[in-house]
Amino acid sequence: MKICVAGAAGAFGVKHLDAIAAIAAKDGGIEVVSVVGGGPDDIEGFARQRGVPHWTKDLAESLARPDVEAVILATPTPVHASQAIQCLRAGKHVMVEIPMADSLADALRLVEVQKETGLVAMAGHTRRFNPSHQWIHRRIQAGKLKIQQMDVQTYFFRRTNMNALGQPRSWTDHLLWHHACHTVDLFQYQTGETASRVQALQGPPHPELGIAMDMSIGLKTPSGALCTLSLSFNNKGPLGTVFRYICDNGTYIARYDDLYDGNEQAIDLSGVTVSNNGIELIDREFFAAIREGREPNASVAQCLPAMRTLDRLERHLAD
């Protein structure tokens, strides 16, 4: 299978390239044949360094290549939906990084185009695939755990428009449509329910970036499970997201691919899945769904309820 990675030189583009290299080394059958860059990227130098034979700053050029079967989009959030639709219209399977859109209207349009084309279209909801969250999910499915509350902290220090690599961004990140999207989808995926009640508060907007730098979100499912989510771009300290699962049968703390009990004792995740890297696991699911001609876990249709909940939260904040 021959792949194009767009936004390849960015923070998550590199993660996907590393994941694909790991899959190819273990299993073979996967090759990145084209990379797409943007803005100031030296995409030619990047491609040569990575051994990729084709590079461009025009996605359409890669999509016109007959050898490209599928595309991973790690491009700026504002173009996710339009580029994913562009890929589908060009006959290419697509995985678009989270969020698949920054509005419900665009998400609905993307889901409709996927249905029209019948191609695999997947959203980058990596939390579904982290071994830590998979361990929890399997026990919920087996009836061994029931979530009472998910308490989540998503903290960064981003008072300037820089990406995870410390490079200037050409677009502005967003706590709700990007970072809250991870938790909203995971909460609804783990509980198997869509939030019936939502509430949200946000701090004052940044004077230059125009976005809220702090946000508090609350969700409740029909069965009574709660999600309490705190997000900040003002946090000086450990960065990233920590998930505390408060369950009827234990408390668990997930930090990306690692899992601990409520007393910070590590839980052995060996044997949960073939890799301890969530990015590799989500890429594996994408490629497997294409090969097997099936809907993937985290298809754009499956992730649409999260977009609906984010839309409700956005309207709540506006009110």
pLDDT in tens, 197-235: 999 999 999 988 888 999 999 999 999 999 999 999 999
Q: What is the Cα–Cα distance from 8 to 296, expressed in whole angstroms? A: 23
Whether the CB-CB separation of 317 and 309 falls below 8 Å is answered with no
Q: What is the Cα–Cα distance from 40 to 203, expressed in whole angstroms? A: 33
Checking if the pLDDT of 171 tops 80, the result is no
Count CB-CB contacts under 10 A for residue 50. Answer: 17
Sheet with 147-155: strands ordered across? 197-202, 214-220, 226-232, 147-155, 240-247, 250-255, 258-261
Angle between helices 104-117 and 304-318 (to 10 degrees): 160
Q: Which pLDDT belongs to residue 159?
A: 82
Checking if the pLDDT of 15 tops 70, the result is yes
Q: Which pLDDT belongs to residue 164?
A: 63
Q: Which two tokens stand for residue 276?
A: 């301890």
Residues 6 or more apart whose CB falls under 8 angstroms from that of 142 comprise none
pTM of the model: 0.95
- The gap from C-alpha 263 to its chain's centroid, in whole angstroms, comes to 29
- Per-residue pLDDT tens over the stretch 228-268: 999 999 999 888 999 999 999 999 999 999 999 999 999 99
User: C-alpha angle 176/179/181, rounded to 5°?
Assistant: 70
Whether the CB-CB separation of 285 and 122 falls below 8 Å is answered with yes
Question: Quick one: DSSP state of residue 52?
Answer: -
Whether the CB-CB separation of 80 and 62 falls below 8 Å is answered with no
Bridge partners (DSSP) listed for residue 56: 36
C-alpha distances in angstroms, 142 versus 130, 139, 145, 254, 302?
18, 5, 8, 19, 21
123 φ/ψ angles, rounded to the nearest 5 degrees: -105, 145
Q: Which pLDDT belongs to residue 165?
A: 64
Average pLDDT over residues 29-57: 95
Q: Which pLDDT belongs to residue 143?
A: 97
Count CB-CB contacts under 10 A for residue 201. Answer: 12
254 φ/ψ angles, rounded to the nearest 5 degrees: -110, 125
Question: Quick one: DSSP state of residue 128?
Answer: G
Q: What is the Cα–Cα distance from 255 to 278, expressed in whole angstroms? A: 11
